[in-house]
Chain A
Amino acid sequence: NAGVMQNPRHLVRRRGQEARLRCSPMKGHSHVYWYRQLPEEGLKFMVYLQKENIIDESGMPKERFSAEFPKEGPSILRIQQVVRGDSAAYFCASSPGGTGGEYEQYFGPGTRLTVT
């Protein structure tokens, strides 16, 4: 059973460009979470999605950031018009269930975004 897959592992973008980060959850998992890790900091929750639904986006910046988890295909975290402050490691996690259950989250290897 393959783990959580993320690609690309490393992404370099110039200021103003768009970044698209992909996450394929573990087989059988329908819940996806995105986290951001800034240098020298812990992971910060960004968004929680189920198939075709955003459940909690309380950690998402109000502008330029969006996420989706379509019926088919991976979850996508999209950052428009990137700025240097977006440089970070972005981690995706998946779980088989969500609220109220004893479900642990399994993390992917992360995408390291560098904005030049």
Chain B
Amino acid sequence: AQSVSQHNHHVILSEAASLELGCNYSYGGTVNLFWYVQYPGQHLQLLLKYFSGDPLVKGIKGFEAEFIKSKFSFNLRKPSVQWSDTAEYFCAVNAVSSASKIIFGSGTRLSIRP
């Protein structure tokens, strides 16, 4: 069965610090990969996605993620965070060969100190 692990439950950073949120998945086949963000009081928004091609994916708001197939990882990065990045971040995977349900990680809460 597919699963997604997010290693950090809560990350606290100061503004301008660099960010890396870990994500590993377990599935042997071809996958689509996503990072979603949920700002306080708002619904899920797609930050970035990987379907195929260049494993380094650029998303909105300066975020990027790198798909490393050999490590089953899809870590999210941002070189310099802002207070407005305070939110919950979810890594997710969808197996291309199966019905299109998305499997989500448990989420990482990011708190940015101004």
Are B43 and A33 interface neighbours, CB within 8 A?
A: no
Are A43 and B90 interface neighbours, CB within 8 A?
A: yes
Are B102 and A45 interface neighbours, CB within 8 A?
A: yes
Q: Within the assembled complex, what's the spacing in Å between the Cα atoms of A39 and B105?
A: 14
Are A48 and B99 interface neighbours, CB within 8 A?
A: yes
Return the chain B residue nearest A45 by Cβ.
Answer: B101
Are B49 and A104 interface neighbours, CB within 8 A?
A: yes
Task: List B residues 87-109 near A (Cβ within 8 Å).
Answer: 90, 96-107
B46 at the interface (CB under 8 A from A): yes
Question: What band does the interface of chain B fall in when counting residues whose beta carbon is under 8 Å from A?
Answer: 20 to 34
A42 at the interface (CB under 8 A from B): yes
B34 at the interface (CB under 8 A from A): yes
Instruction: Count contacts between A and B, CB distance < 8 Å.
Output: 63
Q: Within the assembled complex, what's the spacing in Å between the Cα atoms of A33 and B44?
A: 14
Other-chain residue from B43, B49, B101 in contact with A91 (beta carbon distance below 8 A): B43
Q: What mask results when residues 31 to 61 of chain B are scored 1 for a CB within 8 Å of chain A, else 0? A: 0101010000011111001011000000000
A22 at the interface (CB under 8 A from B): no
Are B100 and A42 interface neighbours, CB within 8 A?
A: no
Return the chain A residue nearest B52 by Cβ.
Answer: A102
Identify the stretch in A11-19, A61-69, A71-79, A92-100 within 8 Å (CB) of chain B at 4 or more residues: A92-100
Return the chain B residue nearest A58 by Cβ.
Answer: B101
Are B100 and A31 interface neighbours, CB within 8 A?
A: yes
Q: List 17 A-B contacts (CB under 8 A).
A: A42-B6, A42-B90, A43-B44, A43-B102, A43-B104, A45-B102, A55-B99, A93-B102, A99-B96, A99-B98, A101-B100, A103-B100, A107-B43, A107-B44, A108-B43, A109-B42, A109-B43
User: Which residue numbers of B lie inside 8 Å of A, CB to CB?
Assistant: 4, 6, 32, 34, 36, 42-46, 49, 51-52, 90, 96-107
